Structure 1
């Protein structure tokens, strides 16, 4: 596995772990369940929903980044991913059965999203982009 691939797998794993930690602090440790309404039924949100959602988001973000890198447009990754994160907040904000759940689910989304936005391209890519702008070698 290449260094870049290893870093991206680790980023997805850490994003997932971060969301699980936030869930544990916001649900079981506080004695509450995170409940969402779906089609007239109320469903509890736990690790069985959080882990696949975080991994799917991570893989989708990685595919987007890979496509942008292939086209030489990787600098667009963070703005596009940020817009996707903001749009994804509509789900928890509208499906949660109470404000505390909405806030917790928005926190889970933001945790995973920010980890992927910052971590997938790596911090080095931002520094390299800044250097290219400073030296006049940016495309």
Structure 2
């Protein structure tokens, strides 16, 4: 299906798909399941809404794409290097929900969102 598209179009769709996947998890967790998705911020808490999910996932996707573009110009095996870096960043990103989630349900949902975005980006961006 994507074979007729150029690389940039595929990557745009991958970044958009990662954001859509994160929003799908949010919709299933918050409005459908009724899980209050909150994180600790300083002395209080903040609700994680769809806007925050969209912005964070788009920024992650665009940063990953930018890194891959740089590696494609400088490295002999950019896909392999990018995949390793992306997986390390994904694992490190899980420290955010572990340290910031307000409750076990929020931790599970936030970790799932990180994993879903990471999976879409790792599988989608590294392909040639």
CA RMSD of aligned residues (A): 1.1
TM-score by length of 2: 0.91
Q: Count residues in correspondence.
A: 122
Query: What SS class does the counterpart of residue 54 from structure 2 fall into?
Result: helix
Shift of 1:26: 1.1
Query: What SS class does the counterpart of residue 20 from structure 2 fall into?
Result: helix
The list of structure 1 runs, each at least 4 consecutive aligned residues, that deviate by more than 2 angstroms after superposition, is: none
Unaligned runs of 5+ in 1: 126-139
Query: What SS class does the counterpart of residue 27 from structure 1 fall into?
Result: helix
Q: 1: distance between equivalents of 2:70 and 2:77?
A: 8
Q: Deviations over 1:78-135 (max 9, x none)?
A: 111000000010001110010110010000011111111110122xx4xxxxxxxxxx
Q: 2: distance between equivalents of 1:48 and 1:11?
A: 19
Q: 1: distance between equivalents of 2:121 and 2:35?
A: 28
- Higher Cα Rg: structure 1 or 2? 1
CA contact (8 A) 1:93 1:103 kept: no
TM-score by length of 1: 0.84
